[in-house]
Amino acid sequence: MQYPRTSRVLDKMRRGEKVISYKFNLSCPRAVEIAALAGFDAAWICQEHVPTDFAVMEAQIMAAKSHDMDCIVRVPKGSYSDYIRPLEADAAGIMIPHLMSLEEAREIAHTVRFHPIGRRPVDGGNADGLYCRFDFKEYIKFANQNRLIIVQIEDPEPLSQLDEICQVEGIDMIFFGPGDFSHAIGHPAEFDHPEIHRVRKLVVETAHKYGKFAGTVPLPSLKQCYDEGFDFVNCGADVTAINADCDRVMNMYRDCQK
């Protein structure tokens, strides 16, 4: 029987290896392919803040898969279809922003996992089910084991239930978002704030305590994140790379005018 590709990110983390992803705000699948050729484990496609439609997302997933790179889609908070469609397009995982409670974590797992964990609606006629070439029972078993479900801790409200959240079956990773968290506690962009340091440590320790993975962004540095125990770090983005190169070229131009 033919099987879909497994998740490179999950496979590596389950072996105890660190992984790295690269974020895309822009819509070009060729840019995703460049990151794959460079060796990144995953492309982070954002539908929370970016007007990336499903046709663009699908093309970017295909570009990543062509070089064995995962696509992880940060979904908008909405209906179950918003969560399921990236998975049916064969994204290796989804990321749900601003998790606010244990109840919400349970509802997410119920929505995005198949039996016996949840009640995800079944189709099988898309890329993740090999367009109906994948046996029904094998399909739901494979998806439960090989697709990554990430929830983001970006607010103080869920911290009192973090232990219970990390025990929810079907949730694989707890991802700490320091930008929104700093804003939520009234200290925007103060990434050295003691509460941010405390919560970073808390997320790693609590996630690992219950067999979950921990993710974040590279503040203050990629190495420190790995040293602190984070398993997954998103490091870099297409828009920041283009900005940096545009600034470099313009600085050369200005130097030539002197």
CA distance 171 to 99: 12
* Three-state secondary structure readout of the chain: CCCCCCCHHHHHHHCCCCEEEEEECCCCHHHHHHHHHHCCCEEEEECCCCCCCHHHHHHHHHHHHCCCCEEEEECCCCCHHHHHHHHHCCCCEEEECCCCCHHHHHHHHHHHCCCCCCCCCCCCCCHHHHHHCCCHHHHHHHHHHHCEEEEEECCCHHHHHHHHHCCCCCCCEEEECHHHHHHHCCCCCCCCCHHHHHHHHHHHHHHHHCCCEEEECCCCCHHHHHHCCCCEEEEEEHHHHHHHHHHHHHHHHHHHCC
pLDDT in tens, 85-125: 999 999 999 999 999 999 999 999 999 999 999 999 999 99
Question: What is residue 79's predicted lDDT score, i.e. its pLDDT?
Answer: 83
Look-up: residue for tokens 């006629």? 125
With a cut of 50, which residues of the chain have pLDDT below it? Answer: none
Question: What is residue 191's predicted lDDT score, i.e. its pLDDT?
Answer: 94
CA distance 74 to 116: 25
